[in-house]
Structure 1
Amino acid sequence: MTNVAFVALACGLIIGLGAIGACFGIAIVGGKYIEASARQPELMNPLQTKLFLLAGLIDAAFLIGVGIAMLFAFANPFIEPLAR
């Protein structure tokens, strides 16, 4: 396998595993929000604010991974320049 193949494999792993992790994280946070709001309905609004903040942070971590994968895919520093 060449360096380009390894970079493509790494980009796929970064994006795929990041998406799975973000989905699990948002699902767990959402489930805990439903449980907490069922137990104490008067705290629903403050908990909803925290839920959206955490969902944004989880999603931001995934998008940073996508950005790093795209950096390696399109501006790869590991591929030797063709003009030497």
Structure 2
Amino acid sequence: MQYIAAAIAVFGSAIAAAYGNGKVISKTLESMTRQPEMAGQLRATMFIGVGIIEAVPILGIVIALLLVFK
């Protein structure tokens, strides 16, 4: 059961991060299309947001490792 729980933790966090990254990037591109003069600021903000979102799968892997090696 621990292995199944670990797999669900990793799978769920990976799916959530992929969805979140897709939304952030698509909305940033949409904003850049509407206001090209803000592209630099939007790009910087996008990279910060993507970096924060990427913390989710890392936490999922930590939880999975805790479940497996408990």
TM-score range, shorter chain: over 0.9
Q: Which has the higher contact order (CA 8 A, sep 6+)?
A: 2
The alignment yields a C-alpha RMSD, in angstroms, of: 0.7
Aligned length: 70
* 2:13 alignment counterpart: 18
Tell which structure's C-alpha radius of gyration is larger. 1
For structure 1, which runs of at least 5 residues remain unmatched after alignment? 1-5, 77-84
* Among candidates 26, 41, 48, match of residue 53 of structure 1: 48
Cα drift, residue 65 of structure 1: 1.4
For structure 2, which runs of at least 5 residues remain unmatched after alignment? none
* Moved beyond 2 Å, runs of 4+: none
Q: TM-score, normalized by length of structure 2?
A: 0.94
1:72 aligns with 2:61: no
